[in-house]
Every structure is written in C-alpha cells, then in structure tokens.
C-alpha cells in the first residue's frame, strides 16, 4: 500500500521510526515534510500528487466535518499525566465549588481520572463538548466550546495541560486557570485573555478607517471557507470598500505585506492567526469581527 505519513512539528522526530515499521510490513511510505499545525491541516495536496492509498495523521483527533476522498487514519498521541501532581492545584482552588474541566487530546484519556481526583476533593466538575473537537472536555485552539458551553454554571474554568495556546482560546468572563501537570505550575490566564480582547478592539478601531481590504483564504482542508470570504467581499463592497480575495495554503505575513495597498485583513482561515499581530503591520480581523465592524459603520 502507498501511505503518506503526517506529523505535527513536535512529533516529526518520530517519523522515521513509524516509517521503518510500515516499510518492514511491505508498504511504500512517504513522509510529509510540510509544516502541520492541526488536524485542520491534512496533507491532501501531497496525497493527491503521489496518488497514495491512505494518509496516516499523527497527534490529532479527527476534525473535518466532511470526509476527504482519500482515506485518513488518525493516530492520537497519548501522553500520561502524573495524576498525583494534581494535588498541587488544590491550594489555588480554595472556595471553588464547581469548575469546567478541559484538556487537549494528548491527555483526554485521563480526563475521567482528573475529574475523579477533583470530585474526591469536594469540587464538582462540568464538561462540555466542542464543535470540531472529537471528545467531551477536549479544547482546540479554534474550538473552546467544551469550556464555554458549561462556563455559566461553573465558578471557573480549569485547563490541565501544557502551553497557553489552547486555554487562551477560552474567551470567558469566568476566571480561566491553567495547570501544567508536569511542572506543577498554576497560572491565572484571565489577564492575558482580557489583553487579547483589548487587542481585538484596537484592531477594530484601526479598521474603521480602512478603504482597501485583503480577505485571507487558506486552502488547508479544515480552514477552507471560500463562502465566508465571498460574503465578506460582498458586504465590504456594499459599504463602498475595495476588497480582494487572497488565497494560499500557508498564509505568510511577509508575502502578504507585499500587497501594499491593503489596509486591513479579514481572516477566514485559522482564527488564531489574528493574534499574530506582531507579524502583521496592519490590523487583522476574523470574519466574526467583520460583523461588528459592519455594525460600527452603520
């Protein structure tokens, strides 16, 4: 069988081991060397060019709503959390009676154990289900619904895992805490989340005066939203603005900056791109922000 292997950046060092295993079984193996940011980012172009029978995508759970024409096997990468380390959270949760618990796919298999630990210590646990995320209690950088759908009934939101990328997607009025179960570090992320909100308001204020817009479309399978881009163009033109549809697989700020007349970007790809404000010299708004901008123009 012709197989194409795909790994996110943090797992690329495992690629040769996996390729060797499959080659020993008699398969013809290719490894995608393109960057991979999420399960939204399936290497379908390489798979089509090589006419492979299947893609094996490592490290993420299934994401796409529509099945692609090429068979995709998802191999989740489980990382065990030292559950005993969770006792380091307890001094920070004094007074919390009920919380919304979330994690990433690497630790999702231990979510029941984490829940049990918190409940044994007198804290009720709520878990919601995301729109794109496969599992209850799982958050993605673009899908915080597992937390937000239950947040109103909780005193706070607790993310157990590593890094800030996932928990800072949880734009909630409730306190958002992150606990790294390996370093036992507890962080209150609410100030950072508020800062992101302020940055968005700043981008909106700058966009108010823009006359020429670049609407960003990514062809990555889970980010490809041409219908939203066409809607944005129509709405902008109806307000007397110039709007151009800019399409690529990977949205590169350096290439985009060469379209010098653009005064503001409307992003229809990964929503987290709009946080890379230091990479872009112009305001970048997500499609949902455009609705607010249209309202501000009246």
- Residues of the shown chain interacting with ligand SF4 in the complex, contacts defined by CB under 6 A: 37-41, 140-142, 222-223, 270, 272
Which residue sits closest to ligand SF4, CB atoms considered? 38
In this structure, what DSSP letter does residue 121 have?
T
Give the nearer residue to ligand SF4 in terms of CB position, either 123 or 130.
Answer: 130
Largest CA distance in the chain: 64
Give the nearer residue to ligand SF4 in terms of CB position, either 210 or 290.
Answer: 290
Q: Find the helix or strand (DSSP H, E) in which 29 lies.
A: strand 28-31
Least gap, CB of 50 to ligand SF4 (angstroms): 23
Give the nearer residue to ligand SF4 in terms of CB position, either 128 or 221.
Answer: 221
Q: DSSP readout, 100-117?
A: EEEB-GGGGGGHHHHHHH
82-to-87, 88, 110, 147 alpha-carbon distances in Å: 10, 11, 10, 23
Strands 156-160 and 124-126: unpaired
Give the nearer residue to ligand SF4 in terms of CB position, either 238 or 288.
Answer: 288
Measure the CA angle with vertex 62, ends 56 and 65; round to 5°.
120
Least gap, CB of 167 to ligand SF4 (angstroms): 13
Residue 66 exposed, middle or buried by CB count within 10 Å (0-12, 13-18, 19+): exposed
Least gap, CB of 297 to ligand SF4 (angstroms): 28
Least gap, CB of 75 to ligand SF4 (angstroms): 16
Least gap, CB of 163 to ligand SF4 (angstroms): 12
Give the nearer residue to ligand SF4 in terms of CB position, either 199 or 206.
Answer: 199
Structure tokens at 138: 């799982």
Give the nearer residue to ligand SF4 in terms of CB position, either 188 or 250.
Answer: 250
Q: How far apart are CA 209 and CA 62, in angstroms?
A: 41
Give the nearer residue to ligand SF4 in terms of CB position, either 53 or 62.
Answer: 62
Least gap, CB of 6 to ligand SF4 (angstroms): 13
Least gap, CB of 142 to ligand SF4 (angstroms): 3
Q: How far apart are CA 3 and CA 22, in angstroms?
A: 9
Q: How far apart are CA 18 and CA 111, in angstroms?
A: 27
Residue 32 exposed, middle or buried by CB count within 10 Å (0-12, 13-18, 19+): buried
């Amino acid at each position: 069988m012709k197989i194409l292997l795909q790994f996110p950046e943090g797992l690329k060092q495992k690629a040769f081991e996996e390729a060797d295993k499959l080659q020993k079984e008699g398969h013809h193996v290719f490894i995608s060397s393109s960057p991979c940011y999420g399960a939204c980012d399936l290497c379908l172009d390489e798979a089509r060019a090589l006419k492979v029978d299947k893609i094996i995508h490592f490290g993420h759970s299934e994401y796409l709503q529509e099945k692609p024409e090429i068979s995709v096997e998802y191999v989740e990468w489980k990382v065990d959390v030292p559950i005993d380390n969770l006792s380091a959270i307890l001094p920070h949760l004094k007074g919390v009676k009920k919380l919304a618990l979330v994690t990433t796919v690497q630790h999702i298999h231990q979510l029941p154990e984490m829940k049990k630990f918190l409940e044994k210590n007198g804290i009720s646990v709520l878990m919601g289900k995301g729109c794109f995320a496969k599992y209850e209690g799982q958050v993605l950088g673009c899908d915080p619904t597992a937390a937000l759908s239950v947040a109103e009934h909780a005193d706070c939101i607790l993310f157990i895992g590593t890094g800030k990328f996932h928990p800072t997607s949880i734009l909630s009025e409730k306190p958002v805490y992150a606990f790294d179960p390996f370093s036992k570090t507890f962080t209150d992320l609410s100030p950072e989340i508020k800062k992101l909100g302020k940055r968005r308001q700043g981008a909106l204020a700058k966009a108010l005066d823009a006359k020429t817009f670049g609407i960003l479309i990514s062809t990555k399978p889970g980010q490809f939203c041409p219908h939203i881009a066409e809607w944005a163009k129509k709405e902008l033109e109806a307000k007397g603005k110039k709007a151009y549809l800019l399409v690529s697989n990977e949205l590169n700020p350096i290439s985009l900056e060469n379209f010098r007349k653009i005064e503001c970007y409307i992003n229809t790809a990964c929503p987290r791109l709009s946080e890379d404000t230091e990479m872009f010299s112009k305001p970048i708004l997500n499609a949902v922000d455009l609705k607010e901008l249209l309202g501000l123009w009246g």
